[in-house]
Each structure stands twice: as C-alpha cells, then as structure tokens.
Chains A and B, each alone.
Chain A
Amino acid sequence: MDRIPILKFGDCLLITIQVDMHDQLALTLQEDLTAQIAKHASRGVLIDISSLEIVDSFIGRMLANIAAMSRILDAQTVLTGMQPAVAITLVELGMSLPGIKTALNVERGMDLLQEFIYREPESEDLHGSEG
C-alpha cells in the first residue's frame, strides 16, 4: 500500500507531500503520523507541501486535523511551502486554515518550530507580572 514517508529529525517529524494524494493516502498519513509522534515523543511536526498543486477542502481538512491531533499529543505543527496559486484558491474556497502555523519554506518552518519548542514557558508570565 502507498505511504507518505515520515522522517525523524531530532525532536521533530518531517513530512514532504509530493504526490497527488488520493483520500485513503491522506487518512493513512494521519494514522501513521500520530503513531510516530507517540513513539518518538516528538515536539514538532513540519509538513512541506511545496509540491502540492492543489489543496481542496478534503486535504485542507486533513491538514487541520493533523495540526489538532498533534497539538493534543503535545506537538506543534508548521505547514511550509504553499504555492501562491494554492493559497489564493484556498481562501476563495472559504478555507483559511485557522489554527495552522505556516512558513514560506522548510528553513523558516524549522526555525519557527524550534522557537515554539524551546521557548521558556515562564517568560510570558514574567512580562505579565511586570506590566
């Protein structure tokens, strides 16, 4: 059966979606990814979609689900590399992917993940008590 490979990179998991996904492949990815997050205790998930030529409501929903599932499993998700034409179409379709962090490319996406994972949790509280 077809599978989208999931690579482990330190605390993070890396996924590059390069094929025109049929629905079952998208569902398999959800299951594989949540299993991998639990297995490796991963803190971050980076999904690169720079090769995807379309994101329809099904794939958009799958991406939103992955982000929600990962969050519940204590991992942050960043979506990288969306093509401009795909972004235009998604918004017109009525899907603005609220709740998903995005970055223009993999490099910035990794920076963003590291920031979220290693951010000092008390720093915000300190600011709050000072102000």
Chain B
Amino acid sequence: MALKAETHPIATSNDVVRVRQIVRAATIQLKFSLVEQTKFVTATSELARNTLEHGGGGWMTLEMVKNGLREGIKLTFRDNGPGIADIELALSEGYTSAGGMGLGLSGSKRLVNEFEITSELGQGTTVIVTRWK
C-alpha cells in the first residue's frame, strides 16, 4: 500500500545529489538506523547515477509504503534510454559498460531488501527497490 508518492527528475549530476538528500530525509522520517540510512542512500546514489549515465536521464519516484505494520520506502528509477540487452550479465559482479568498477547494479542489490529490474531494448530501464524498516 502506498501512502505517498512523489517523482523527481534525474537530468544532471546535481540531481543525483538532490535525490540522495530526498531519500535521506525519508529514511530519517521512518527512523531508519544510521547504517540502514547509509545503505539505502548509497543504493540510491548508484541507481540514480545509472539512470543518468546509462539511461540518459530519467526520473525517481519515491513512495512511502506499508505492509501490515511494516513501513518502508520504495524507489522506482525509470529512464527511456537504450535498455539493457542482457540483464543477467548486467547484474553480475564486476560487469561494467561505462568503465566503472561494475558495482552499481550488483552492489545496490545487496543494499536493499527488494530489487526488481525490467528493461526493453530501445525503450528504457526500470529499477524498483524497497527497504523495510
């Protein structure tokens, strides 16, 4: 169940900093521990940068969600970029297409509770992550 949803553009590297701050504020609101906050904000940073660099920019939607008594934060990163041909490969450790260290997708997957990725060539990529309190 989504309690609240808001969408923010990711078009410049300043937007990556801004969505990090927005997600940080949401984790504080839900009283995440400092380690939980840091993990989720770091995952946000990785995914927002992917949206910017591989997707050519896009959007992040933040939802405060509730499952029974559990509260959490769900983030959807969406772009209209070239898409990912082989998701399995993109998720494997050390895979990189942008000359980085290949930790973006596989690393951020470890920093969240739920991780879902869909991609279509020529259409874009959507990554949905959730971290529960």
Overall SS of chain A's interface: helix
Of B12-20, B71-79, B81-89, B119-127, the stretch lying at the interface with chain A is B12-20
Contacts of B93 in A (CB 8 A): 94
Overall SS of chain B's interface: helix
Contact A86/B49 with A54-B20, A94-B110 known, Cβ cut-off 8 Å:
no
Question: In the docked arrangement, what's the CA distance between A22 and B101, Å?
Answer: 18
A24–B37 CB distance below 8 A: no
* A66 CB → nearest B CB, Å: 15
Contacts of B49 in A (CB 8 A): 23, 56, 58
* B95 CB → nearest A CB, Å: 12
Interface residues of B in 1-54 (CB under 8 A from A): 13-14, 16-17, 20-21, 24, 34-35, 37-39, 41-42, 45-46, 49
B100–A61 CB distance below 8 A: yes
* B3 CB → nearest A CB, Å: 25
Query: CB of A18 within 8 A of chain B?
Result: no
Contacts of A84 in B (CB 8 A): 35
Question: In the docked arrangement, what's the CA distance between A86 and B100, Å?
Answer: 20
Query: CB of B103 within 8 A of chain A?
Result: yes
Query: CB of A89 within 8 A of chain B?
Result: yes
Question: In the docked arrangement, what's the CA distance between A116 and B13, Å?
Answer: 37
A-side interface residues toward B, CB under 8 Å?
20-24, 53-58, 60-61, 83-86, 88-89, 92-95
Q: Which 6 A-B pairs have the closest CB atoms?
A: A93-B107, A85-B38, A56-B45, A23-B13, A57-B103, A22-B13
New A-B contacts (13) at CB < 8 Å, excluding given A94-B103, A94-B106 = A20-B17, A22-B17, A23-B49, A24-B13, A56-B46, A57-B107, A58-B49, A60-B101, A61-B101, A85-B34, A92-B107, A93-B110, A95-B103
